[in-house]
Amino acid sequence: MPDRRVGIWLIGAFGGVGTTTAVGLAALAKGLTSTTGLVTELPAFLGADFDAPATFTVGGHDIRQTTFAAAARELHERSNVFSAPLLAAIETTLDTWSKNVRPGVIYHANAAIAAMADRKDVRAAASPAAAIEQIQSDLRAFQREHRLDQLVVVNVASTEPPFELTEIHHSLEKLKAALAKDAAELPTSSLYAYAAIDAEYPYVNLTPSRGATMPALEELAIQESVPTCGQDAKTGETLMKSVLAPLFARRNLRVLSWVGHNILGNRDGQVLTDPQNKASKVKSKDALVAELLGYKPQTIVSIEYVPSLDDWKTAWDHIHYEGFLGTKMTLQFTWQGCDSILAAPLVIDLARLALRAQRRGEKGNLPALACFFKSPIGVADHDFGRQFEMLEQYIASDERR
Amino acid sequence: MPDRRVGIWLIGAFGGVGTTTAVGLAALAKGLTSTTGLVTELPAFLGADFDAPATFTVGGHDIRQTTFAAAARELHERSNVFSAPLLAAIETTLDTWSKNVRPGVIYHANAAIAAMADRKDVRAAASPAAAIEQIQSDLRAFQREHRLDQLVVVNVASTEPPFELTEIHHSLEKLKAALAKDAAELPTSSLYAYAAIDAEYPYVNLTPSRGATMPALEELAIQESVPTCGQDAKTGETLMKSVLAPLFARRNLRVLSWVGHNILGNRDGQVLTDPQNKASKVKSKDALVAELLGYKPQTIVSIEYVPSLDDWKTAWDHIHYEGFLGTKMTLQFTWQGCDSILAAPLVIDLARLALRAQRRGEKGNLPALACFFKSPIGVADHDFGRQFEMLEQYIASDERR
Amino acid sequence: MPDRRVGIWLIGAFGGVGTTTAVGLAALAKGLTSTTGLVTELPAFLGADFDAPATFTVGGHDIRQTTFAAAARELHERSNVFSAPLLAAIETTLDTWSKNVRPGVIYHANAAIAAMADRKDVRAAASPAAAIEQIQSDLRAFQREHRLDQLVVVNVASTEPPFELTEIHHSLEKLKAALAKDAAELPTSSLYAYAAIDAEYPYVNLTPSRGATMPALEELAIQESVPTCGQDAKTGETLMKSVLAPLFARRNLRVLSWVGHNILGNRDGQVLTDPQNKASKVKSKDALVAELLGYKPQTIVSIEYVPSLDDWKTAWDHIHYEGFLGTKMTLQFTWQGCDSILAAPLVIDLARLALRAQRRGEKGNLPALACFFKSPIGVADHDFGRQFEMLEQYIASDERR
Amino acid sequence: MPDRRVGIWLIGAFGGVGTTTAVGLAALAKGLTSTTGLVTELPAFLGADFDAPATFTVGGHDIRQTTFAAAARELHERSNVFSAPLLAAIETTLDTWSKNVRPGVIYHANAAIAAMADRKDVRAAASPAAAIEQIQSDLRAFQREHRLDQLVVVNVASTEPPFELTEIHHSLEKLKAALAKDAAELPTSSLYAYAAIDAEYPYVNLTPSRGATMPALEELAIQESVPTCGQDAKTGETLMKSVLAPLFARRNLRVLSWVGHNILGNRDGQVLTDPQNKASKVKSKDALVAELLGYKPQTIVSIEYVPSLDDWKTAWDHIHYEGFLGTKMTLQFTWQGCDSILAAPLVIDLARLALRAQRRGEKGNLPALACFFKSPIGVADHDFGRQFEMLEQYIASDERR
């Protein structure tokens, strides 16, 4: 299928994760970097029908005035990632892609996020319906202009505050009616999700923001035959929890307290200084330990913004547990990683998986992708090992068809 | 089956692990401690036919002149484990069991181990065959005296130096012939293993010493219908490796180097100051990372004797890995645990599993118990999650019979 | 001076620090423990006129209904400190001393602290002046009953919320006038401090609570010729800061951020779950880094209550710094210590130093004791090395007199 | 004194430390980097007569065929230090300086070091005397060509194996006689030291190699009126020890064991895989804890070569100590730093200090510089705080003259 052309549309394109995704796809397309970090490139998945990096065109929305090349240079200089020669070699591609990034569409945005908007042509929509229409117009123009066979929409924007669902979010009919009357309250992430699904584009949510996670949008995805997945990519501390908590459970070692302190310095961290936005993230990080253990030990999760770290984050976890004969023991770990570098390959993996799912006629939430997420929609099992087996079986069974 | 009486025979009974096993069984029998730390007490295994703690009688061999109560008090005072009231409450039981511990039988013992012998009645055997006979005589007397329905023999003695196999160890016929002519070289651990299996007692090897791990003894176990398992219980750093290395593999993160430094202060650590004895342990700890990753990163494993730690050990692991776009990142952990407390519940688990296997007519190596061991005999997969699923399926399938 | 008898009066006697002080003095008096942990026992201070442990009688106030022996047993069982034989050997002494502990005197106590009061005979005072009088009556009765030549009062009670000074606290005259009219607002710790100083007893403040730290009480101390010192004993993370920050300063390494997370599980931690009480502690811990560096890097200090740790605390500090040519590097440490064990020897040290100062006619604040405190009164230099030299010179110069 | 021109001659110029020194001096001269990391730029030393970066010309010896620019690029690419724009801005200066680096002079070199020689014009000397003469000829030509008022020689070459002194090294007369007869055994570092001192150039030894540390060369330095200093720059783990050990001593906390594991990936690490070369380094790192504590706890120091770390090193130290009432507690730290970045500013500091000392007529060893060294010659006190005060007093007293 050498002629297939696919697009990836990044909501929050010029953020660390979006920029690194663009850099990664451009570098992979030219054979300038290895496939390390890409789950879809594991030997186990050889032969699955994943789109090659060179077939991707990148576009997106952003509220900041910059380019992929400038954002990449900033990451390089501040966070010591990428190399100057690599950036030089892909500059033309990045510049082409930067032109595909349209100004964000804002409707009642959260203050912490709105504060980041420095792009003058950001478009304030008059109503939710108008916002959805504008977004869809951008998506369709992109697909048309680049003659793309398929397009996947990925949310990599900064975290929103938690959004509580009301009655209208539980039924597509009610939601549509409310939208028609300009009476629907939806967070920005869900406006974009609605726009994508309604226009029949697969939708991937890397963030803890609401996105497509509500019955009304799940209904829409089934109705429009669109695959979706989410939410909140599992890249560091929580990934560790999802392999360590099962260890304690299986050895019948009783976790007494699990304390996790996270420090990070990128824009995401900045947005998290807003207590409301932080609440989403902490909730997503805190839930799974109790599920994995089968009981609720004391847990503390903190996230603090430490600008000197730039795109790097360090998590220190202190796990206090009781072993045989009441003896208390301790496991501590520090995970030092670069946020964008950990998340961007998952964007590519999930885009490939969602595009492939669409071709295979799958619709609605893809539970087999749970291993990528902190809060996998529709999957209660947080054990990373078992989640990964689900992915293996999913790919294998599909290949057998 | 309330009438069944079982025995556990500990080779190296008065060591930290042996003593803690005795303390644990006595405390469990009286309901003075919880079942935390016991894998066989997990809800998943409820209903499996495991012997209750109160049905166990403890005996063993040791070369040191002490008692369970004295050794337990020493552990309490030096390592801050157990509590004085608990020890007081089980003192009578421990004293009864101490009388079941017979002087060790030594034939050409390793210098580091021999140096620990302070029991005057330790018996030097004239030949390997004589040693085996003496050991069997002790085992049978114990079973007879306590009218035990079953007896399991568990090696919890200090680590021996590596022992290379020769032709006679590859065939039971040749080994028997050599023993008859007094021409068989066998390490002490294998003399005990031979004695146990030949007398039809299940044999469990918690240590990296050779024990029953040779074709001739595997043949003997099949012939005598005796279940065996081993080797080298997985209690800390290696347990962590067996869940973390799969994490890196599944996320396609390339491990560049994995450095592990272990410090510990108990008699085991002392024996490991002998470079030959240490070699066994390091080999067992170092092998599995490469198997789990599918390639060989640089690995360093050290074990150092730090007397001030007494029975506690700390492992510091530094894992340097490469993620997307060539970015190097780091995971570090420190595992601080008490050696005997981590290992003793596994002794009880394995004894229960081996006794149950014997009742079910299983013979030879029990690969389904791989999740307990650093070097599981006959199992190449070191992934703890998958090993644990093997155990679950093994128990479940048996229960279905 | 073999006939001199001294007393130590512990406000908050049955807390972890108070109890450990009593255990320590009793054990030292009988020669049952070494002098490890006592600064006043360093070879450098040999020959200084410090009171011997055997000359101390212990008394105090507390609002909880218990005894030194019971509190010590609880610490032993929950936190694995002391040993059962040691506690048995000093039980008689502890019981005698428990009888010297009088019910606390409460006037408008903080809710978090009041919640801990379970002693039925706790005395609510009708006015600050009445509280002071009651406290003094207890102190004098203790001195009289035990025929003590000197008595030192030490605050080891739980941390109060910050207390802002007003005009009346800046002048002894105004404070006395306000007390006479029942119009003086004083935190509990300052009522006790006033009582002690006014009765001519040296006063030591181990906590971040206000105590004697206000001009009016400093005036009183000078007037009554009473030595005082404080505040907030430096036992762990802050002690580390006071040697590490100077290291960065002297090597001209620029600290970018200093993040410190503290977890602890004792009653002190419980009181700190009250945000107001926590504020005092965090302020005291956070101030000195900027002073030591000469500039203000980003700092984060958290204290969290983790009950499973009991009397143990762990501090994780992440120090991100810039070296030559803009290179960012990291130092991390974890300090794992037992709160009472770290603080109690300082109580004994400071009691000895204050009693000695009184005999030498010193009055008011003792700045030479700065090395013991997080917020040394009247000393701006937080460098532990230089503070210790001040102590050495102070002792040496006194001896020369 | 704007006309003064000084030179710095780096033995092992193209190593990480030498290269970073050249990069640093070039960047400082152009005002392209801050003075962070330079002790001589501390406010406390403002006004001392230190040579400005722009007055330095760099030369040196090396056995490898490369240039400063190429070595700097390699450090940039492998270890993520410097920035591409900085390197571009100073490329011309670096290229000029690279021409000043002469091929190394080798006489009976250690195998591990000789293996690194890939410069074809490396000169094998026929005798020690011939080597010295050749080195001096290079030094003098450099001074002449660049019309330097002063020249300081700094050893930043890889660590040699320990060298034991014999009778001839204890007297200058005997050493000279032996050299004349071609009967003097001297390690390479000492041949260079002899050459420098004998030619009246100040000599600084950043490494644990022998260098000028022997009575005969100390005699020579006095005779020739040349200041010298060393040895083994204190940049990370040992620096930490020199502030933490005094902390334990001053609080009378008894260190039971101090375990330090170091992993590093640069050429220095590679040389240290040779057990003989490693011995020098470990000895230098291990000695000071006992000196600082006043007793000898168990100590373990390891250094391992982990290539993936390139120029970065991580030290993990585990300090087990006993506090009051026999309670054992633990401090752990990890120091993650870049070797060259930590050491290079000290090269500049020491060069400035040695040049200044020469102008002031100081001769022989400079004990006031002890705070820079792991094994300060002639100074038994390893307390970093006190050593730093020595430096402050030294600079202050000199300025007063």
Category of D200 on φ-ψ map: left (φ > 0), alpha (ψ -120 to 50) or beta: left
State how far the Cα of A192 lies from the Cα of C313, in Å rounded to an integer: 47
Q: A2: how many CB neighbours lie within 10 A of its CB? A: 6
Picking from C33, C38, C331, the nearest residue to D333 by CB comes out as: C331
- B152/C161: higher pLDDT: B152
pLDDT tier, B400 (very low <50, low <70, confident <90, very high otherwise)? very low
Q: A46: how many CB neighbours lie within 10 A of its CB? A: 9
Q: Quote the pLDDT of residue A1.
A: 47
Tell me, yes or no, if B378 comes closer than 8 A to chain A by beta carbon. Answer: no
Phi and psi torsions of A363, nearest 5°:
-140, 150
State how far the Cα of B152 lies from the Cα of B347, in Å rounded to an integer: 11
Residue B3 has pLDDT above 80, yes or no: no
Same fold, D6-232+341-400 and D237-337: no
State how far the Cα of A370 lies from the Cα of A231, in Å rounded to an integer: 9
State how far the Cα of B269 lies from the Cα of A135, in Å rounded to an integer: 66
Phi and psi torsions of C146, nearest 5°:
-100, 10
State how far the Cα of C198 lies from the Cα of C192, in Å rounded to an integer: 10
Q: Quote the pLDDT of residue A126.
A: 87
Shortest CA gap C116–chain D (Å): 27
> What is the tens place of the pLDDT at every residue in C70-91?
999 999 999 999 999 999 999 9
Residue-wise DSSP of D81-97 = -S-HHHHHHTHHHHHHH
Helix axes C68-79, C16-29, angle to 10 degrees: 100
Q: Which of D2, D51, D63 is nearest to D267 (CA)?
A: D63
pLDDT tier, A193 (very low <50, low <70, confident <90, very high otherwise)? very high
3-state secondary structure chain B: CCCCCEEEEEECCCCHHHHHHHHHHHHHHCCCCCCCCCHHHCHHHCCCCCCCHHHEEEEEEECCCCCHHHHHHHHHHHHCCCCHHHHHHHHHHHHHHHCCEEECEECCCCHHHHCCCCCCCCEECCCHHHHHHHHHHHHHHHHHHCCCCEEEEEECCCCCCCCCCCHHHHCHHHHHHHHHCCCCCCCHHHHHHHHHHHCCCCEEECCCCCCCCCHHHHHHHHHHCCEEEECCECCCHHHHHHHHHHHHHHCCCEEEEEEEEEEECCHHHHHHCCHHHHHHHHHHHHHHHHHHHCCCCEEEEEEEECHHHCCEEEEEEEEEEECHHHCEEEEEEEEEEEHHHHHHHHHHHHHHHHHHHHHCCCCEECHHHHHHECCCCCCCCCCHHHHHHHHHHHHHHHHHC
Picking from D257, D308, D334, the nearest residue to B306 by CB comes out as: D257
pLDDT tier, C284 (very low <50, low <70, confident <90, very high otherwise)? low
Q: Where do the structural domains in chain B lie, given as residue ranges?
A: 6-233+341-400, 237-337
State how far the Cα of B38 lies from the Cα of B88, in Å rounded to an integer: 23
- Arithmetic mean of pLDDT, C254-278: 84
Shortest CA gap B63–chain C (Å): 29
* C-alpha distances in Å from residue C200, one per residue of B306, C143, C220: 51, 12, 10
Residue C95 has pLDDT above 90, yes or no: yes
Residue C238 has pLDDT above 50, yes or no: yes
Tell me, yes or no, if D331 comes closer than 8 A to chain B by beta carbon. Answer: no
> What is the tens place of the pLDDT at every residue in B279-320?
777 776 777 899 999 999 999 999 999 999 999 999 999 999
Asked if the Cβ–Cβ distance from D84 to A80 is below 8 Å, we say no
ipTM of the complex: 0.95
- D159/B195: higher pLDDT: B195
Asked if the Cβ–Cβ distance from B80 to C84 is below 8 Å, we say no
Q: Quote the pLDDT of residue D2.
A: 55
pLDDT tier, D400 (very low <50, low <70, confident <90, very high otherwise)? very low
The mean pLDDT value of chain D amounts to 93
- Identify from A316, A321, A333, A334 which residue to disrupt to test chain C contact, counting C C-beta atoms within 10 A and taking the largest count: A316
pLDDT tier, A356 (very low <50, low <70, confident <90, very high otherwise)? very high
Asked if the Cβ–Cβ distance from B302 to D298 is below 8 Å, we say no
Tell me, yes or no, if C333 comes closer than 8 A to chain B by beta carbon. Answer: no
Tell me, yes or no, if B86 comes closer than 8 A to chain A by beta carbon. Answer: yes
Tell me, yes or no, if A254 comes closer than 8 A to chain B by beta carbon. Answer: yes
Number of H helices, E strands in chain C: 14, 13
Picking from C259, C308, C334, the nearest residue to A257 by CB comes out as: C308
Q: Which residues from chain A sit within 8 angstroms of residue C320, using beta carbons?
A: 306, 308-309
Residue B20, Cβ density class (10 Å: 0-12 exposed, 13-18 middle, ≥19 buried): buried
CATH number of C6-233+341-400: 3.40.50.720
pLDDT tier, B17 (very low <50, low <70, confident <90, very high otherwise)? very high
- Identify from D77, D261, D264 which residue to disrupt to test chain B contact, counting B C-beta atoms within 10 A and taking the largest count: D261
- C283/C142: higher pLDDT: C142
Residue B401 has pLDDT above 80, yes or no: no
> What is the tens place of the pLDDT at every residue in B138-174?
999 999 999 999 999 999 999 888 899 999 999 999 9
Helix axes C188-198, C215-224, angle to 10 degrees: 20
State how far the Cα of A69 lies from the Cα of A46, in Å rounded to an integer: 32
Q: Which residue of C has its CA nearest to D250?
A: C39
CATH superfamily of D237-337: Dihydrodipicolinate Reductase; domain 2 (3.30.360.10)
Residue D213 has pLDDT above 90, yes or no: yes
Residue B64 has pLDDT above 60, yes or no: yes
State how far the Cα of C290 lies from the Cα of C297, in Å rounded to an integer: 7
Q: D58 CB contacts (<8 Å, ≥6 apart)?
A: D7, D8, D10, D13, D21, D22, D25, D68, D97, D100
Picking from B263, B320, B334, the nearest residue to D308 by CB comes out as: B320
* Host H or E run for residue D150: strand D150-155
Asked if the Cβ–Cβ distance from D261 to B256 is below 8 Å, we say no
Shortest CA gap B93–chain D (Å): 31
Residue A233 has pLDDT above 50, yes or no: yes
| C350-354, D235-239, D248-252: the lowest-pLDDT one | D235-239
- C145/C288: higher pLDDT: C145
Q: Which residues from chain C sit within 8 angstroms of residue D43, using beta carbons?
A: 294
Residue D130 has pLDDT above 90, yes or no: yes
State how far the Cα of C123 lies from the Cα of C102, in Å rounded to an integer: 10
Shortest CA gap A338–chain C (Å): 14
Q: Quote the pLDDT of residue C113.
A: 67
Residue A401 has pLDDT above 50, yes or no: no
CATH number of A6-232+341-400: 3.40.50.720
Asked if the Cβ–Cβ distance from A20 to B385 is below 8 Å, we say no
Tell me, yes or no, if A77 comes closer than 8 A to chain D by beta carbon. Answer: yes
Q: Quote the pLDDT of residue A392.
A: 96
Q: Which residues of B343-352 are buried (b: 16+ CB within 10 A; e: fewer)?
A: bbbbbbbbbb
The mean pLDDT value of chain B amounts to 93
pLDDT tier, D401 (very low <50, low <70, confident <90, very high otherwise)? very low
- Arithmetic mean of pLDDT, A96-121: 84
Residue D1 has pLDDT above 60, yes or no: no
pLDDT tier, C119 (very low <50, low <70, confident <90, very high otherwise)? confident
State how far the Cα of C13 lies from the Cα of B398, in Å rounded to an integer: 60
- Identify from C313, C318, C334 which residue to disrupt to test chain A contact, counting A C-beta atoms within 10 A and taking the largest count: C318
Shortest CA gap C226–chain B (Å): 43
Q: Quote the pLDDT of residue C116.
A: 74
End-to-end CA distance of chain C: 18
Residue A399 has pLDDT above 70, yes or no: no
For residue A234, give both structure tokens. 């599992």
The total number of residues shown for chain B amounts to: 401
A233 beta partners: A373
For residue C2, give both structure tokens. 């073999």
Task: Determine contact, residues D277/D161, Cβ cutoff 8 Å.
Answer: yes
Tell me, yes or no, if C261 comes closer than 8 A to chain A by beta carbon. Answer: yes
Residue A382 has pLDDT above 60, yes or no: yes
State how far the Cα of C291 lies from the Cα of A153, in Å rounded to an integer: 51
Q: Quote the pLDDT of residue C96.
A: 98
Task: List, as ranges, residues 6-65 from B with C-beta within 8 Å of D.
Answer: none
Q: Which residue of D has its CA nearest to A78?
A: D83
Share of chain B above pLDDT 70, in %: 97
- D223/D111: higher pLDDT: D223
pLDDT tier, C1 (very low <50, low <70, confident <90, very high otherwise)? very low
Residue C400 has pLDDT above 60, yes or no: no
